[in-house]
């Protein structure tokens, strides 16, 4: 008895968790509408069929007593819509595009006639959002392949699209570019792949690995007025929808190559130096189709599979500018940093010059007008004696400046991998 009760409770909990998980698939869209006749009267109990044109999978529903129909949780794709009712011509519309988290409204007016007669509409449904005040931007695979998403010189990164969204601002307050949307908090983006969260809670990037660019069906970036289901995010919402197999076996292959053979020579290198090596290969492919097991299962119009592979290799000995101590700095002469302009005076009335360096060994407490202050003496003309033998040894390992007269970017040296 107790064992049966425990089993029943476990099944109930699993069922609830499954429902909650399914409801969380926020990468889906919907098609809704009102069916009426030419006089404006609603048409109830009409048969409505939506079909995914890529997979030929269909869903059927009846209009309500008020003439409404609703298809929710539709994967991002292009759909056709067919409506039948006795006494009316069959209505058919192709090219209805449903995007990520997008609600498409398609109202239909049926014309009197025989069911065998068909009214076909080939225009796309209106993309004007009237159901929500949400502000978002979407991009398809075709557009994504044409966008400059190789910002860092590394492999293509779909996250780079975030910088191209209206309202984006990029700053370099950190050691890498930081993107924020419409003044929202940086590092607070919510990233979802097929509705499941893939956000690293610290830097606001993919939790483990980014999806291949060629495996992405659509990217939708919501930047303002998003629904309550996204309330846990302090920045933009990025929804990545992955591709699915279709009724036809299809695939793709690619390689993006960079080689010094195609590059101009670095203008800062001596004429006798060869071109710096640059070898970058990004290659991969995708393949998908219906699940077919000969003599056992035919998945056409029902079950599909899709997979992708991507790899990135880089080898280069690129040269860049480094900042190293000037030759006189190695001997403790930092007078080039001392500027004549006076920023103020200390408690002893001594002028404070911009770039002045103070002797830590001279730290002491002085009393001025009954108040205690901590002061230090400046090194005369910024001449700092190097007292530590360890410091001298460390400096011996630091390359010498190759460009005189510069405090920074004064050494042209290798920055890549051999």
Q: Which H, E and C letters describe the chain, residue by residue?
A: CHHHHHHHHHHHHHHHHHHHHHHCCCCCEEEEEEEEECCCCECCCCEEEEEECCCCCEEEEECCCCCEEEEEEECCEEEEEEEECCCECEEEEEEEEECCCCEEECCEEECECCCCCEEEECCCCCCCCCCCCCEEEEECHHHHHHCCCCCCCCCCCHHHHHHHCCCEEEECCCCCCEEEECCCCCCCCEEEECCEECECCCCCCECCCCCCHHHEEEEEEEEECCCHHHCCCCCCEEEEEECCCCCCCEEEEEEEEEEHHHCCCCCCCCCCCCCCCEEEEEEEEEEEEECEECCCEECCCCCEEEEEEEEEEEEECCEEEECCCCHHHHCCECHHHCCCCEEEECCCCCEEECCCCEEEEEEEEEEECCEEEEEEEECHHHECCCCCHHHHHHHHHCCCCCCCCCCCCCEEEECCCC
**pLDDT tens-digit readout, 322-334:** 888 888 888 889 9
Question: CA-to-CA distance for 160 and 258, rounded, in angstroms?
Answer: 19
Question: CA-to-CA distance for 352 and 344, rounded, in angstroms?
Answer: 5
Quick one: 317 and 329 in the same domain?
no
Quick one: 152 and 64 in the same domain?
no
- The percentage of residues in the chain with a pLDDT greater than 70, rounded to a whole number, is 77
Quick one: 185 and 91 in the same domain?
no
Joined tokens for residue 286:
């995708």
Question: CA-to-CA distance for 196 and 386, rounded, in angstroms?
Answer: 58
The reply to whether 5 falls in a domain is no
Quick one: 282 and 315 in the same domain?
yes
Q: What residues make up the domain containing 306? A: 250-321
How many Cβ atoms from other residues are within 10 Å of residue 221's Cβ? 23
CATH code of the domain covering residue 70: 2.60.40.1120
The reply to whether 14 falls in a domain is no
The reply to whether 411 falls in a domain is no
Residue 306 pLDDT grade (very low, low, confident, very high; cuts 50, 70, 90): very high
Quick one: 301 and 356 in the same domain?
no
For the chain, the domain total comes to 4
Quick one: 375 and 290 in the same domain?
no
Read off the pLDDT of each residue in 213-218 and give the average, rounded to a whole number: 86
Quick one: 51 and 108 in the same domain?
yes
Closest Cα partner for 30 from 50, 48, 45?
A: 50
**pLDDT tens-digit readout, 150-177:** 655 567 777 777 777 777 777 655 545 5
For residue 60, the cross-strand partners are 49
Read off the pLDDT of each residue in 270-277 and give the average, rounded to a whole number: 75
Joined tokens for residue 201:
């809670």
Quick one: 317 and 336 in the same domain?
no
> Which residue, of 305, 321, 337, is where some domain finishes?
321
The reply to whether 16 falls in a domain is no
Quick one: 87 and 71 in the same domain?
yes
The reply to whether 414 falls in a domain is no
Question: CA-to-CA distance for 222 and 190, rounded, in angstroms?
Answer: 10
The reply to whether 287 falls in a domain is yes
> Which residue, of 242, 269, 290, is where some domain finishes?
242
Q: Residue 83 has what pLDDT?
A: 93
Please answer whether residues 45 and 64 qualify as being in contact, where contact means their C-beta atoms are separated by less than 8 angstroms.
no
Q: Residue 21 has what pLDDT?
A: 39
The reply to whether 147 falls in a domain is yes
Is it the case that residue 42 has pLDDT exceeding 70? yes
Mean per-residue pLDDT over the chain, rounded: 80
Q: How far is CA 21 from CA 192, 238, 306, in A?
A: 13, 19, 22
Beta-carbon contacts of residue 363 (< 8 Å; ≥ 6 apart): 374, 375, 376
CATH code of the domain covering residue 206: 2.170.130.10
Q: Residue 392 has what pLDDT?
A: 85
> Which residue, of 207, 242, 277, is where some domain finishes?
242
Quick one: 187 and 209 in the same domain?
yes
The reply to whether 12 falls in a domain is no
Quick one: 379 and 307 in the same domain?
no
Beta-carbon contacts of residue 79 (< 8 Å; ≥ 6 apart): 31, 50, 51, 52, 53, 96, 97, 98
Residue 82 pLDDT grade (very low, low, confident, very high; cuts 50, 70, 90): very high
Joined tokens for residue 224:
């303002």
Quick one: 139 and 237 in the same domain?
yes
**Residue appearing with tokens 């009316």:** 88
């Amino acid at each position: 008895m107790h064992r049966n009760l425990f089993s029943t409770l476990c099944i109930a909990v699993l069922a609830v968790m499954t429902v909650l998980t399914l409801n969380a698939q926020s990468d889906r869209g919907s098609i809704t509408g009102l069916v009426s006749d030419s006089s404006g009267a609603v048409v109830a109990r009409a048969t409505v069929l939506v079909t995914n044109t890529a997979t030929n999978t269909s869903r059927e529903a009846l209009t309500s007593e008020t003439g409404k129909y609703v298809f929710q949780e539709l994967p991002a794709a292009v759909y056709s819509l067919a409506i039948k009712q006795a006494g009316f011509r069959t209505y058919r519309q192709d090219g209805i595009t449903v995007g990520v988290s997008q609600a498409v409204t398609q109202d239909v007016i049926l014309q009197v006639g025989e069911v065998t007669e068909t009214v076909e509409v080939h225009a796309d449904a209106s993309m004007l959002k009237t159901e929500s005040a949400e502000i978002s931007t979407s991009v398809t695979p075709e557009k994504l392949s044409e966008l400059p998403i190789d910002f860092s010189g590394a492999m293509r990164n779909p996250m780079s699209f975030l910088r191209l969204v209206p309202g984006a601002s990029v700053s370099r307050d950190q050691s890498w570019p930081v993107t924020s949307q419409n003044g929202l908090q940086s590092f607070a983006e919510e990233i979802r792949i097929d509705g499941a969260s893939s956000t690293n809670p610290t830097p606001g990037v993919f939790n483990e690995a980014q999806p291949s660019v060629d495996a992405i069906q659509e990217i939708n970036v919501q930047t303002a007025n998003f629904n309550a289901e996204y309330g846990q995010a302090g920045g933009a919402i990025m929804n990545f929808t992955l591709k699915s197999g279709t009724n036809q076996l299809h695939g793709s292959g690619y390689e993006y190559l960079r080689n010094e053979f195609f590059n101009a020579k670095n203008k800062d290198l001596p004429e006798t130096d060869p071109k710096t090596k640059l070898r970058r290969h990004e290659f991969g492919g995708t393949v998908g189709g219906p699940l077919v097991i000969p003599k056992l299962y035919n998945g056409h119009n029902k079950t599909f599979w899709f997979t992708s592979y991507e790899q990135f290799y880089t080898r280069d000995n690129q040269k860049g500018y480094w900042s190293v101590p000037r030759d006189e700095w190695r001997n403790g002469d930092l007078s080039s940093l001392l500027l004549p302009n006076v920023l103020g005076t200390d408690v002893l009335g001594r002028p404070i010059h911009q770039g002045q360096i103070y002797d830590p060994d001279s730290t002491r407490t002085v009393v001025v007008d009954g108040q205690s202050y901590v002061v230090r003496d400046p090194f005369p003309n910024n001449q700092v004696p190097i007292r530590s033998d360890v410091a001298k040894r460390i400096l011996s390992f630091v390359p010498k400046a190759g460009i005189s007269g510069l405090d920074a970017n004064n050494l042209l040296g290798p920055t890549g991998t051999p």
